[in-house]
């Protein structure tokens, strides 16, 4: 490595003295103006990772659903997955190294990972629509270039699109072409094929309408590009397309999920099917309002359930012993877990919050459906399942079985298996609703969510909260779990847990119960317990 050149270039991307950041579940994320040095150094890290794995690595510049002033960066591993945890640690060390320590930190990474510095390196870069993203992605490029790496700048893309092209590139096109055009073609072909098999909607209206809140983000641009690939029976209407308002401001999937209300900028008529993407289009939630003006949220749990119902019917038809399972987190509504386990008889697994945990677990099954309640999720098909399904779709003599296998094959091609993808998920959902002739209300009525409440409490050090059992129980501080257990006893059908946030300096509290006032009361009581036993700061939490 040419440390002189690195030093010179690094001086143009200085680290604010004393600033420390951590590569968390969503990469680095903070105010955009603090991130220049981080971007530059992530360019380094991507080159080293590319050399260490002899593969193409992705770097995405985005802060997802955070305010427009923020930004962030995430690295994408060869299979389109989140960066390996051991390298998250290196990312943190590199970002926090003072100028004079840079050389040492980089040398250590190279030694530990036996990086061959003479190998080629290729990095794919993408960015969201934030005003700061262009300049920050240029800093990534500067970092890549100093280390002699090659790059391809995809410019404005959704996060899942970058995951997709990285995977395509590293599988020599087997998964698809590593271009946006390739992405649009693969998904739309599968979607058109699926939709063809649907009867026309019972309403007599041969067109299907969907209103989409694009969070004033990248999803709007990419849906506009993709729109002309869609069959004319599917009419999408884009709102919050970024031409007027600020990114994620009073809109987007996170806003809708957290506030359980419709986004600004989208006028909803009763029973109209609507959905919201988040700022980098890797999350989606659906919703509608009924004739009494009540808002109904259809979150990731209900999306997972719909997908499961559909896939299970097809799997039964093709009569292959393919094992399907659902992966959720502790935030999954209790009603969804119950419905999946008891009514659908599908095994459900609970893992820690964060996409990488869900993805990893879902890889254990032939068909692994994973979704976070917040709307991030996808379906993974094992290699063995893929081979069986593709074979049946081509060779099976029995018409019904062959048709079912074809549908599975198209589902496999439509879903982005690298990561949760709002655009791909939306097309999967639209296809399933069309194929099953379901209205948004019928989908919503599959089960009734248990009322729930999410709260947060500020404590001096959130790491005093230790969790176990996929974050469903705490092991520290002493006495807290016993207190939660006692509080839960007071309410019917109730459940509560607390966990330190991975993205904010707070402790999160989740409670659900038979009635909203009980969920609210339980969440409040648990938050008081956290406040008193885990060193709360400021005034005690107030009732909801």
Could you give the string, one character per residue 515-544, with x where binding to ligand 16G holds by CB under 6 A and - elsewhere? Answer: ------------------------------
Would you give the distance in Å from CA 503 to the centre of its chain?
Answer: 14
Q: Encoding tokens for residue 495?
A: 């459940």
Of 38-46, 343-351, 423-431, 499-507, which part binds ligand 16G (CB under 6 A)? 499-507
Of 310-318, 403-411, 443-451, 497-505, which part binds ligand 16G (CB under 6 A)? 497-505
Sequence-ordered list of residues with C-beta below 8 angstroms from that of 167, at least 6 positions apart, any chain:
78, 79, 80, 175, 418
Told to check if 218 binds ligand 16G by CB under 6 A, we report no
Of 118-126, 207-215, 496-504, 517-525, which part binds ligand 16G (CB under 6 A)? 496-504
Residue 78 or 219: which CB sits closer to Mg ion? 219
Residue 10 or 159: which CB sits closer to ligand 16G? 159
Told to check if 505 binds ligand 16G by CB under 6 A, we report no
The secondary structure of residue 260, as a DSSP letter, is: T
Closest by CA to 170, choosing from 73, 256, 293, 77, is 77
Cross-strand bridge partners of residue 286: 275, 298
Closest CB 285 distance from Mg ion, rounded Å: 12
Q: CA-CA distance, 151 to 126, in Å (whole number)?
A: 11
Of 204-212, 352-360, 384-392, 440-448, which part binds ligand 16G (CB under 6 A)? 352-360
- Are 268 and 289 in contact by the 8 Å Cβ rule? The answer is yes
Residue 449 or 471: which CB sits closer to ligand 16G? 471
Which among Mg ion, ligand 16G, none contacts residue 276 (Cβ within 5 to 8 A by kind)?
Answer: none
Q: Which of 10, 53, 64, 410 binds Mg ion (CB under 5 A)?
A: 64
Told to check if 354 binds ligand 16G by CB under 6 A, we report yes
Q: CA-CA distance, 446 to 335, in Å (whole number)?
A: 10
Sequence-ordered list of residues with C-beta below 8 angstroms from that of 398, at least 6 positions apart, any chain:
none
The CB density around residue 470, as the number of other CB atoms within 10 Å, is 18
64 is catalytic: yes
Of 64-72, 316-324, 390-398, 459-467, which part binds Mg ion (CB under 5 A)? 64-72
Closest by CA to 216, choosing from 246, 172, 188, is 246
- Are 55 and 121 in contact by the 8 Å Cβ rule? The answer is no
Residue 278 or 421: which CB sits closer to Mg ion? 278
Helix (H, G, I), strand (E, B) or coil at 487: helix
Sequence-ordered list of residues with C-beta below 8 angstroms from that of 469, at least 6 positions apart, any chain:
none
Closest CB 331 distance from ligand 16G, rounded Å: 8
∠59-65-68 over CA atoms, to 5°?
85
Told to check if 418 binds ligand 16G by CB under 6 A, we report no
Told to check if 353 binds ligand 16G by CB under 6 A, we report yes
Residue 29 or 499: which CB sits closer to Mg ion? 29
Determine which helix (DSSP H) or strand (DSSP E) holds 426, and give its type and residue range: helix 422-436
Told to check if 70 binds Mg ion by CB under 5 A, we report no
Q: Site residues (CB under 6 A) for ligand 16G? A: 25-26, 353-356, 372, 374, 376, 501-504, 508
Q: Site residues (CB under 5 A) for Mg ion? A: 64, 278, 280, 282
Q: Please identify every residue annotated as catalytic.
A: 64
């Amino acid at each position: 490595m040419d440390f002189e050149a690195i030093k010179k270039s690094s001086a143009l991307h200085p680290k604010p003295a004393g600033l420390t950041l951590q590569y968390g579940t969503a990469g680095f994320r903070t105010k955009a103006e603090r991130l220049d040095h981080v971007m530059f150094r992530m360019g380094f890290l991507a080159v080293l990772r590319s050399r260490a794995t002899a593969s193409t690595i992705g770097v995405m510049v985005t802060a997802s659903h955070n305010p427009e002033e923020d930004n962030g960066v995430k690295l994408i591993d060869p299979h389109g997955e989140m960066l390996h945890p051991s390298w998250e640690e290196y990312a943190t060390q590199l970002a926090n190294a003072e100028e004079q320590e840079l050389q040492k930190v980089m040398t250590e990474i190279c030694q530990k990972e036996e990086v061959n510095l003479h190998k080629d390196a290729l990095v794919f870069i993408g960015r969201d629509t934030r005003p700061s993203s262009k300049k920050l992605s240029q800093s990534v490029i500067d970092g890549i270039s100093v280390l002699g790496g090659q790059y391809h700048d995809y410019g404005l893309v959704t996060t899942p699109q970058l995951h997709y092209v990285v995977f395509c590139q590293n599988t020599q096109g087997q998964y698809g072409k590593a271009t946006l055009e390739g992405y649009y073609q693969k998904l739309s072909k599968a979607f058109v094929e699926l939709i063809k098999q649907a009867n026309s909607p019972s309403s007599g209206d041969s067109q299907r309408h969907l209103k989409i809140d694009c969070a004033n983000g990248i999803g709007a641009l990419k849906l506009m590009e993709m729109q002309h690939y869609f069959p004319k029976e599917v009419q999408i209407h884009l709102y919050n397309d970024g031409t007027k308002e600020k990114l994620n401001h009073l809109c987007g999937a996170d806003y809708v999920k957290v506030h359980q209300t419709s986004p600004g900028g989208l006028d909803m008529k009763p029973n109209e099917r609507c959905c919201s993407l988040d700022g980098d289009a890797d999350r989606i939630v659906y919703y509608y309002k009924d004739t009494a003006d009540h808002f109904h949220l259809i979150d990731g749990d209900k999306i997972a359930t719909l997908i499961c119902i559909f896939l299970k019917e097809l799997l039964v038809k093709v009569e292959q012993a393919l094992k399907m399972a659902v992966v959720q987190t502790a935030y999954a509504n209790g009603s969804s877990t119950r419905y999946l386990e008891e009514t659908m008889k599908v095994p459900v697994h609970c893992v820690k919050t964060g996409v990488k945990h869900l993805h990893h677990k879902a890889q254990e099954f032939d068909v692994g459906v994973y979704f976070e309640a917040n709307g991030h999720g996808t379906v993974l098909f094992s290699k063995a399942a893929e081979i069986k399904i593709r074979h049946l779709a081509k060779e099976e003599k029995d018409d019904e079985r062959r048709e079912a296998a074809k549908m599975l094959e198209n589902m496999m091609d439509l879903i982005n298996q690298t990561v949760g993808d709002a655009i791909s998920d939306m097309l999967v959902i639209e296809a399933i609703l069309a194929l099953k002739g379901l209205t948004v209300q019928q989908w919503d009525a599959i089960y009734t969510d248990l009322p729930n409440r999410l709260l947060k409490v500020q404590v001096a050090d959130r790491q005093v909260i230790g969790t176990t059992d996929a974050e469903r129980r705490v092991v520290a501080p002493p006495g807290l779990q016993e207190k939660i257990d006692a509080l839960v006893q007071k309410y019917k059908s109730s459940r509560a847990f607390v966990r330190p946030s991975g993205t904010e300096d707070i402790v999160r509290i989740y409670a659900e119960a038979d009635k909203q006032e009980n969920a609210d009361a339980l969440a409040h009581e648990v938050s008081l317990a956290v406040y008193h036993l885990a060193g709360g700061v400021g005034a005690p939490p107030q009732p909801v």
